[in-house]
Amino acid sequence: MTKPRYTDLVLSLPATVPFVGPETQERARGAAFAARLGANESVFGPSPQAVAAIAKSASEAWMYGDPEVWELREAIATHHGVRAANVVVGEGIDGLLGYLVRLLIGPGDAVVTSDGAYPTFNYHVAGFGGALHKVPYRGDHEDPEALLAKAREVDAKLVYVANPDNPMGSWHDAATVQAMIDALPEGCVLALDEAYADTAPANAIPPLDMTHPRVIRLRTFSKAYGLAGLRVGYALAEPDFIAAFNRIRHHFGLGRVAQAGALAALADQDHLQATVARIAAARDKIAAIARDNGLTPLPSATNFVTVDCGRDGAFARAVLAGLVGQGVFVRMPFTAPQDRCIRISAGTDADLALLAKALPRALAEAGSR
């Protein structure tokens, strides 16, 4: 019997995923994590109003969600002072990045990103046959000048940058980002991933300009809004650019329950601000725990703190393994020299107490190897 006739592109790709989920690790360990501090979720949870809306809409789960996501798009537009025509909603930023790459990139088309930046973007580029070109970080920050120079060099159709950045937590001020937008080469689209905009300083996010035809800003309900399990993200761009998504997006991809939860979460800005304050307090506690153990916490504008372990990637991986072995789930950057670090998501006081207890042992075990 014959097998499926996969495309040459699919046959050329490894069977892999951008991230190994904590559930996968829990199954391998045979035990649940005591502290889940690696996925940059919000352990502080969603708005009670969102929870109530999710519960109410559960009885309507037999219906598909609105394929136009009309009510949520209107609310997002009002929140940002733009038009609904400037908004597309999708299955998290990950889903929207997949649509974006599908819109723009065919086999051999040049795409530029930073070496060590968010790997899911790279995964989409590979899946559509794009030619990925990378530039190094500079001082644990993405390097806008290098990204633009490489984009000009290779005639890139798409360049990706996150501000604030994952996995380092660093950020550029709005003027730097705007200068990058202003210098964008003709024919090149800038994907500006602002997943952590809600936890960033106000001076890190440039004003929304919905007139530029080749800039798209990506936001999410998965971080500060605490709805990672619903997978709701959105993008803001010029209307013609947004309309192009309707040619290829999954129109029924966002379920009714997810739409209701995100709509209620957006309406409860008091809860969002309270969560942002709790995240900031948790960042301070993580930084203090790191310093107490002789490590260096890097400045962060996100819901995590990247901690410099002071040696090389092998040592940092050993520290990470030591924490995981004690039931504390954390992650780390994949690429040198950023892989000298581990990345710790904001947690509750109980989570961070477990971290404070586990870290000295993990460091001692790593140092003895």
pLDDT digits (tens, 9 = 90+) for 257-269: 999 999 999 999 9
Residue 85: count of CB within 10 angstroms of its CB: 15
Inform me whether the pLDDT recorded for 223 exceeds 80.
Answer: yes
| Distance from C-alpha of 39 to C-alpha of 36, rounded to nearest angstrom | 7
Quick one: CA dihedral 158, 164, 170, 171, positive or negative? positive
Model pTM score: 0.95
Helix (H) or strand (E) holding 191: strand 189-193
Q: Looking at the structure, give the CATH architecture of the domain made up of residues 48-267.
A: 3-Layer(aba) Sandwich (3.40)
**Do the two domains 18-45+270-367 and 48-267 of this chain adopt the same fold?**
no
Question: What tens digit of pLDDT does each residue of 145-196 get?
Answer: 999 999 999 999 999 999 999 999 999 999 999 999 999 999 999 999 999 9
CATH of 18-45+270-367, one of 3.10.450.50, 3.90.1150.10, 3.40.640.10, 3.30.565.10: 3.90.1150.10
For the chain, what is the mean pLDDT?
97
Q: How far apart are CA 24 and CA 33, in angstroms?
A: 11
User: Cβ(94)–Cβ(219) under 8 Å?
Assistant: no
Interatomic CA distance for residues 304 and 357, integer angstroms: 19
Sequence ranges of the domains in the chain: 18-45+270-367, 48-267
Closest CA to 116 of 337, 273, 328: 337
